[in-house]
């Protein structure tokens, strides 16, 4: 199948960053068309051989109808994917593929997220400013820990790039638990939705850090452990401050981790990831 024969179908591109990343940006580089905000399958244009679904707004119960238009590829993001009417799936990590391969029993292609540094410009490595970059919903309790916070919901990629060029250490923690280094050790009152989100996490925050050469501290989550465990320090909220000081004051450690980040970043460049999509499309 050729990219021109594939339509990316997604929900609200203005509201969801994952659609901007996994749909609009990818489709533009592949030469695929996009269609947003369809509330029913009938609204989706026919005439394409394949459709890549990225958080579409139409009901999942209508996917069997959708499949009559062409091959359907479902990008697994944040939630359990449908089983009917889908020909193949995209997972962001090997861990996510393993979660669903027995249940889905169909092709699951692993294609990671890519970082927002399209130009390859690195942070200059002189700063030691620690910062949380992410959603306010997940912002952790970090009393007594000197850091900045950037709540970046609905930010543009260009705005996000400016932040990563200014900071020196990234805090990739969540507010789910005060202590405990295992992602499975979440409090009993945490909702299944939140736990599922951690399990399906693409690791994009760590990938962003790699792209700009920024060492980080992270929660022990499946995606972070898989992507580049040597490029971050795993910690919890209680020990976070100690590790941030270590990175800020130990130049040898900081330089070593920064070099590891830069080395690993090439695996997540936009060119590499687009190539994975192209291989998938051509094999359909």
pLDDT value for 177: 57
Which of 11-20, 97-106, 188-197, 248-257 shows the highest mean pLDDT? 248-257
Which pLDDT tens digit goes with each residue over 23-75? 888 999 999 999 999 899 999 999 999 999 999 999 888 888 888 899 999 99
Instruction: Give 190's pLDDT tier (boundaries 50, 70, 90).
Output: low
For residue 74, which of 65, 4, 25, 82 has the smallest C-alpha distance? 82
pTM for this predicted structure: 0.90
A 10 A CB-CB count for 43 gives 12
Q: What DSSP element (H or E) covers 240?
A: helix 240-249
Q: Which pair of structure tokens corresponds to residue 13?
A: 């591109």
The DSSP secondary-structure symbol of 110 reads E
Q: How far is the C-alpha of 254 from the C-alpha of 249, rounded, in Å?
A: 8
Cβ atoms of 34 and 52 closer than 8 Å: no
C-alpha to C-alpha distance for 100 and 200, rounded to whole angstroms: 11
Backbone angles phi, psi at 275, to 5 degrees: -60, -35
Share of the chain above pLDDT 90, in %: 61
Q: How many CB atoms lie within 10 A of CB 121?
A: 13
């Amino acid at each position: 199948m050729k990219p021109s024969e594939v339509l990316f179908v997604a929900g609200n591109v203005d509201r969801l960053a994952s659609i901007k990343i996994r749909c609009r940006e990818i489709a533009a580089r592949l030469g695929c068309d996009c269609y947003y905000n369809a509330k029913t399958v009938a609204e989706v244009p026919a005439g394409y051989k394949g459709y890549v679904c990225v958080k579409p707004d139409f009901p999942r119960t209508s996917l069997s109808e959708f499949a009559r238009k062409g091959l359907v590829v479902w990008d697994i993001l944040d939630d359990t994917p449908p089983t009917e009417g889908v020909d193949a799936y995209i997972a962001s990590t090997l861990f996510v593929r393993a979660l669903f391969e027995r249940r889905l029993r169909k092709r699951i292609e692993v294609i990671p997220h890519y970082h927002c540094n399209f130009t390859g410009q690195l942070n200059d490595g002189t700063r030691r400013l620690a910062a949380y970059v992410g959603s306010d919903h997940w912002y952790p309790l970090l009393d007594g820990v000197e850091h900045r916070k950037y709540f970046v919901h609905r930010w543009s990629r260009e705005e996000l790039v400016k932040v990563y060029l200014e900071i020196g250490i990234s805090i990739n923690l969540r507010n789910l638990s005060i202590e405990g280094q295992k992602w499975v050790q979440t409090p009993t009152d945490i909702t299944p939705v939140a736990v599922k989100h951690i399990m399906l996490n693409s690791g994009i925050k760590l990938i962003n850090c790699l792209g700009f050469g920024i060492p980080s501290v992270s929660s022990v989550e499946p995606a972070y452990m898989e992507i580049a465990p040597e490029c971050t320090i795993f910690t919890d909220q209680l020990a976070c401050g100690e590790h941030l000081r270590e990175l800020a004051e130990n130049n040898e450690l900081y330089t070593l981790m920064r070099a590891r980040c830069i080395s690993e970043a090439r695996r997540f460049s936009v060119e590499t990831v687009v190539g994975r999509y192209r291989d998938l499309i051509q094999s359909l």
